[in-house]
Amino acid sequence: MLDRSQQPPLKTLEEYSIQHPVCRMLPNGVKLYLLDAGDTEVTRVDMVFNAGKFHQDYLLQSLFTNRMLREGTRRFSRADIAEKLDFYGAWMDLSVSYNHSFITLYSLNKSLPQTLDLLEEMIKEPVFDQGALEVVKSNNLQKHLVSLQQTAVQARRLFQRTVYGLEHPLGQIAEVSDFQRVDRDMLLDYFKRFYHSGNLSVYLTGRITEDCLKKVEALFGHPFGNVNEVSSDVNRPVAPLPVVHQFMEMKDSVQSSVCIGKSTVSLHHPDIVRLRVLLTLLGGYFGSRLMSTVREEKGYTYGIYAILNPTPIDNTLMIISDCDHKFVKPLLEEVYLQIERLKEEAVSEEELSLVKNSMKGEILRTYESRLSLSDAWIFVHTMGLPDSYFHDYWQGVSETTIEDLQRLASVFLCKESLTEVVVG
């Protein structure tokens, strides 16, 4: 009989492996990545175009081009598309990153032929109806105006501008006038330049049948769009503003938001995994230094986090929190105190082991679902990472030492190099 008075023994997972996709080349040169996984009759389809915020000529151009794909085609209205997706039990998501645009479809295998037909028409024959565009613009503008009432949103916007400069894509933040500038011709131009077979990769995840492969090849295996258009990344230098301490007053706010950080090394840097370990220990999980002191011991905030946000050119290092106005100064002092402790005091083996286990557990939770495998490999491919990325990440976490953390804290967490933004 199981003795429930005894805690089960803890085991350390020494190795981690993730299923690799099989890559096929369609007749028109489109790469098709196959992840045949799971026993549920559901397939996830990801259409990935090299068309993101770094490629646009105007703010919001890539975002609205992507969103308008489901707002009507030559044969189907917006309502028709929504009704068909609902009828077939399918779900669709459209999103844009720095360098890519994504159309993700989840479909039952039995209705996949019909949902793929709909997906094809959305990609090849959107009409960009002016009336539908005005509705989408109005809805998104309203959400934008509501978000601007949040101190956390304003702090993030001010931080981006300060760290990257007003001329860099990462420092260019949309204003109301940018929403008003969006028009049909602008979106059509972007669509014609970037939504074509020469700029596309396809990912299939789930129970992949031969019929599914034949259908995908029939719909997307032949040249379509302006395939002679060449997609090129925008490479502009980071030009941070000279002011490293920024304050923005919002008189009616009930709290203040704090953002501290800087632009730092890219995902290809040899120390990037160890830097992630350092930031996880500082503020990357519930038992972190900042959570333990700023939240639990001092009671300054409900949450405080240290994160690395990856971009195509770097990682944005950020320490973020919301608190009562009167706690801003002591919160900042405690953050810098904990940073100095990391530089001066060696971390215990017990604490480092806890952090490593937390990071490994997060990897396992993130990709425990078969359909989430697409997210893993889309991230690897769109960021230009090697196929060994997850193995290297796991090994990097395992091999991080106490000495590494002190060294990296001295290199990456110098107070003089950090931008500090407070909104409230």
Q: 263, 412 in Cβ contact below 8 A?
A: no
Q: Please give the structure tokens belonging to residue 277.
A: 């370990």
Q: Could you report the per-residue pLDDT of 252-287, keeping only the tens digit for each?
A: 898 999 999 999 999 999 999 999 999 999 999 999
Give rounded-to-5 percent helix, strand, coil for the chain: 50, 20, 35
The answer to whether residue 12 scores a pLDDT higher than 80 is: no
Orientation of helix 349-366 relative to helix 272-283, angle to 10°: 100
Q: Could you report the per-residue pLDDT of 116-168, keeping only the tens digit for each?
A: 999 999 999 999 999 999 999 999 999 999 999 999 999 999 999 999 988 88
Angle at CA 354, nearest 5°, toward 348 and 360? 135
Residue 349 DSSP class: H
C-alpha distances (whole Å) from 14 to each of 11, 356, 398 are 9, 11, 8
The answer to whether residue 235 scores a pLDDT higher than 90 is: no
174 HSE (CA, 13 A, CB side): 24
Give me the percent of the chain exceeding a pLDDT of 70: 95
Summarize the confidence of residues 205-215 as an average pLDDT.
93
**What pLDDT is stored for residue 238 in this prediction?**
59
d(CA 136, CA 252): 29
Model confidence, pTM: 0.91
The answer to whether residue 242 scores a pLDDT higher than 80 is: no
Q: Please give the structure tokens belonging to residue 331.
A: 């919160």
The contacts of residue 403 (CB under 8 Å, 6+ apart) are none
For β-strands 200-206 and 31-36, DSSP reports them as parallel
Summarize the confidence of residues 204-229 as an average pLDDT.
91
Residue 113 has a CB neighbour count (10 Å cut-off) of: 16
Q: Could you report the per-residue pLDDT of 352-362, keeping only the tens digit for each?
A: 999 999 999 99
d(CA 251, CA 184): 38
Please report the domains of the chain, with CATH numbers, ordered by start residue: 22-220 (3.30.830.10), 245-423 (3.30.830.10)
The helix/strand/coil state of 384 is: coil
**What pLDDT is stored for residue 167 in this prediction?**
84
Orientation of helix 328-344 relative to helix 272-283, angle to 10°: 130
Please provide the average confidence, as pLDDT, over all residues in the chain. Answer: 92
**What pLDDT is stored for residue 243 in this prediction?**
63
pLDDT-derived band at 239, boundaries 50, 70, 90: low
d(CA 90, CA 324): 44
